[in-house]
Amino acid sequence: MTSTGRRLHFKTFVLIMLMVVFGPLGDAVLRKGMSRVGAMASWAPADVARFFFRAFSSGMIWVGIGSLLAFFVAYMLVLSWADYSYVQPASSVALCMVALLGYFGLGEAISPLRWVGILVICAGVLVVGHTPPSTTAGG
């Protein structure tokens, strides 16, 4: 691999790591917040508005949004050079992080089959991760 190729791989790796930390953290905090908000009563406009008003009145939702914004900035930057069809699956290591946060942090029950599914997804991610990050002229 050339030094340019190594540099591209390194900065892609760093930004994907930031995505893997901030994305799942944001998702787990949002789940915690939304489980307190409760389900939407119906699709009636007043109920939908009340549901989102309750959601955005929760401090925990804003912490989750902050974490997802950090994820989004890292995502935007990495997409300035790397393929979308590379970054998207490569960042799905975050799925394992989400499952671990759900299991240990939120006490969610995860069936063995779901764990297998998550591991298969991660195997897919590894396969994608061994392809070149950019195949377009701009990358």
Partner 1 sequence: MLRELIFYVLIIVPGTGGELCVTRAMKAIGEVTDFRPMALLRVIARAMRNGWMWIGILFMTIGFFALLGMLSVANVSFVIPATALSYAVGTLGGKFFLGERVSRQRWVGVLLVCIGVSLVFIGKG
Residues of this chain that bind partner 1 (CB under 8 A) = 24, 27-28, 30-31, 34-35, 37-40, 43, 51-52, 55, 61, 68, 73, 75-77, 79-81, 83-86, 88-89, 92, 94-95, 98-99, 101-103, 106, 108-131, 135-136, 138-139
Long-range contacts of 2-8 (CB under 8 A, 24+ apart): 8/81, 8/82, 8/133, 8/134
DSSP structure class, residue 107: -
Question: Of 24, 29, 26, 98, which Cα lies nearest the Cα of 68?
Answer: 26
Taking the C-alpha atoms of residue 86 and residue 83, their distance in angstroms, rounded to an integer, is 5
DSSP structure class, residue 136: S
Taking the C-alpha atoms of residue 109 and residue 127, their distance in angstroms, rounded to an integer, is 28
Give the DSSP H/E element, type plus range, for residue 21: helix 3-37
